[in-house]
Structure 1
Amino acid sequence: MILVYWMIFLSVPLVSSIDKMLTVYGRVIGVESSQIIATSLDSCLAICHRQSNCILAFLNSVGHCSFFYNNTTRIIDVEEISEEKNQVVGFKCSLPDQSCPRVLSNATLELPVLNVFWRKASNGWKLIKCLDGWRLFDRSNNSYVCMKFFELSFGSSRLVAESVCIENDSKLSGVANSKETLWIRGKLTTGDWDGAWLDGERKCDTSEPNCLNYIWSDGYTVGNEALANNLFSPNNTATKQSCLTVFAEKGPHLNAVSCTNYKMAVGVMCGYQLK
């Protein structure tokens, strides 16, 4: 497949990365744009680059430029095609200063400010993004999870937390690593011991007071990397404090709490997996 690259740089001082328009011969399939104009390729790319919420521009063979924005959809498919078809797609992405990947499949195409990732597909690329207001996490098992913190009335139960997630078409979410845990902790701005409900429940024998055998029910969290050296379990009673919260204390950020008698919840972390 023949590829062509157009690099457009922001007019800003030196920084660690710059937003650029990286283009390929291709077309957008499966979704229509609400904004289409007749223009040149250079103008098509420049307009998208200037608009902070534009993530992709597509110029078809008759010179019609379509723009796609961060709130357009959660999925955009880009199909790579031959140069002879004279159709070009421009991805907006963040790359290190002055860099240009020689082969597009080697590039990590992402726009962190807008929670946008582009994943290589068999015949092109697929946009990966969350709904507005949700945070995208790229997990090590090659899955993408969208998470959002919802405030709760002080002392809300785990059942209430689960219902809030269901009402928002998501699930009570587990955590996969310290990056996610710290992000959630940053949402807690009240007392040090106030917490946010998480998925995960310990299934332990009474002879294992500090076991980390947490069972995740959200369908996308695996392993216990987030728990290692980061779990506060003061009573050493795994069978009584079997559920999890994130709390704002400066030490360990995960707190083992009672599934039914915890009275310090101020929020819940909900999530869903992008597929």
Structure 2
Amino acid sequence: MKTFLIFLLLIPQSLGIMKMIQGYGVVTYGPFPVAYSSSTNCSEGCFHLDYCILSWKTPNGSCYHYSYLDRPYTIKVGEIGKEENSIVAFKTIVTGTTCPSSYTDMDFKMTISSGDTYSWIKTGNSWNLIGCRDGWKRFDRTSGISVCMKTFYSPGGFYRWVARENCKTIGTDQIGVASAEESRWIHEQMMQYNTGKKAPFAFWTDGRFMLNCGASYCEKVTWDDGYTTGIAALNTSVNFDCKCASNMCLSIAYIPVNAMKTITSVDCNVLGDGYVCGYDLKKSV
């Protein structure tokens, strides 16, 4: 068996518990690499860049960094022998005061500025970054786009525009709903905070009606997140309770008199009980 772990790149403790674990490996799939000028300080340079999640010093001496801000669909790293002279370094959380004896003793996990984490999954002699932040739900849409979603709740309520700004603050957006499967998952998440089920309860999602929507109201829904399309989630017989009028927006909701439906249209200026953030995963072309 090859020995992957070479050494722990020591960084002053004042910078926190994030470290670089460096070893012999190769990036077998990794879109959007960023070339770094110094191969000598390849891994250390990654450590000092907030966006960098992985560095790779290739056999020919080039240095590449990989950024979580590019929202990669996945990154794959394979273990190789020392003779290949190819070095990868994971930015990861290290706990305790002693160095781990082997990579098998570690879970590679990185914390980003929002407080979210990304985890690498080890399978055999390879590591995969799944794409979504830990705790975010991935949906592979029929349009070919994959998205990550998470719900947020506040007892005090949120206006729709505040909810959108909160999503943007953590590098995401208020996301639209592309399927009944997505709306049911969001509904299940938010109902964990509405155990009494006695009053209306709703989370803001993306989606608003254009003016003068008329009889064919479903076709007048506008998605602003940039990657939600279509009206597959708006199945009026099962999933959608619509009131078409000016200044109406979409929410995932529990309405006691119509509890079987998960999407409803409400006044854009009322308070919601929470909201849904999301982002799309980028694939190489």
What's the TM-score once normalised by structure 2's chain length? 0.54
User: What's the offset of the Cα at 1:174?
Assistant: 0.3
- 1:196 counterpart (194, 203, 211): 203
Match for residue 244 of structure 1?
250
What is aligned with 1:257?
A: 266
Query: 1:208, CA displacement in angstroms?
Result: 2.3
Map residues 159-170 of structure 1 onto 2, 5 A cutoff: 159-170=161-172
In structure 2, what is the equivalent of residue 208 of structure 1?
A: 215
The list of structure 1 runs, each at least 4 consecutive aligned residues, that deviate by more than 4 angstroms after superposition, is 63-70, 72-76
C-alpha contact 1:200 1:214 (8 A) present in aligned 2: yes
The 3-state SS of whatever aligns with 2:203 is: strand
2:146 corresponds in structure 1 to 144
The residue type paired with residue 62 of structure 1 is: K
Matched residue count: 180
Shift of 1:70: 6.1
| Residue 60 of structure 1: aligned partner | 80
Task: Identify unmatched segments of 5+ residues in structure 1.
Answer: 1-25, 34-54, 77-87, 93-117, 119-126
Give the Cα separation in 1 of the matches to 2:219 and 2:156: 27
Deviation at 1:216, TM superposition (A): 0.5
State the SS of the aligned residue for 1:129: coil
More divergent stretch after superposition (201-210 vs 189-198): 201-210
What per-residue deviation string (whole Å, max 9, x for no partner) do you get for residues 71-99 of structure 1? 358699xxxxxxxxxxx97457xxxxxxx
Show structure 2 runs of 5+ residues with no match. 1-24, 34-53, 57-74, 88-101, 111-116
In structure 1, the partner of 2:183 is 181
1:135 and 1:148 in contact (8 A); partners too:
yes
Residue 206 to residue 224, structure 1, CA distance change in 2 (3 Å) = closer
Q: CA deviation at 1:168?
A: 1.4
Tell me if the contact between 2:109 and 2:119 (Cα under 8 Å) persists in the aligned partners.
no
Identity of aligned residues (%): 29
Residues 32 and 89 of structure 1: CA distance in aligned 2, closer, same or farther (over 3 Å): farther
* SS class of match (1:227): coil
CA change 1:258–1:231 in 2 (3 A) is same
Contact conserved, 2:234 with 2:263, CA < 8 A, in 1? yes
CA shift at 1:177, angstroms?
A: 0.6
Coordinate RMSD, CA, aligned = 3.5
| Structure 1 pair 56–70 and aligned structure 2 pair: CA distance change class (3 A) | farther
Residue 241 of structure 1: how far off its partner (Å): 5.7
Instruction: Map 1:61-210 onto structure 2 (within 5 A).
Output: 61-62=81-82, 69=107, 71-72=109-110, 90-91=125-126, 127-188=129-190, 189-190=193-194, 191=197, 193-205=200-212, 207-208=214-215, 210=217
Q: Provide the C-alpha distance between the structure 1 equivalents of 2:78 and 2:103, rounded to a whole number of angstroms.
A: 5
Match of 2:44 in 1: none
| Contact kept in structure 2, 1:58 and 1:66, CA below 8 Å | no
- Distance in 1 (alpha carbons) for counterparts of 2:220 and 2:213: 12
Cα deviation, residue 206, structure 1: 5.5
Shift of the 165–206 alpha-carbon distance from structure 1 to 2, 3 Å rule, reads closer
Distance 1:157 1:165 in 2: 13
1:175-223 CA distances to partner (integer Å, 9 max, x unpaired)? 1111111111112231452000010111152642744421101011010
Q: What secondary structure sits across from 2:78 in the alignment?
A: strand
Structure 2: distance between partners of 1:185 and 1:58:
39
Which amino acid in 1 is paired with 2:245? Answer: T
1:56 CA drift (Å): 7.1
Q: How far apart, CA to CA, are the structure 2 residues paired with 1:193 and 1:212?
A: 26
1:166–1:160: structure 2 CA closer, same or farther, 3 Å change rule? same
**TM-score, normalised to structure 1's length?**
0.55
Give the distance between the partners of 1:271 and 1:210, measured in 2 at CA: 25
What secondary structure does 1:267 align onto? strand
User: What SS does the corresponding residue of 1:226 show, helix, strand or coil?
Assistant: coil
CA distance in 2, matches of 1:172, 1:248: 19
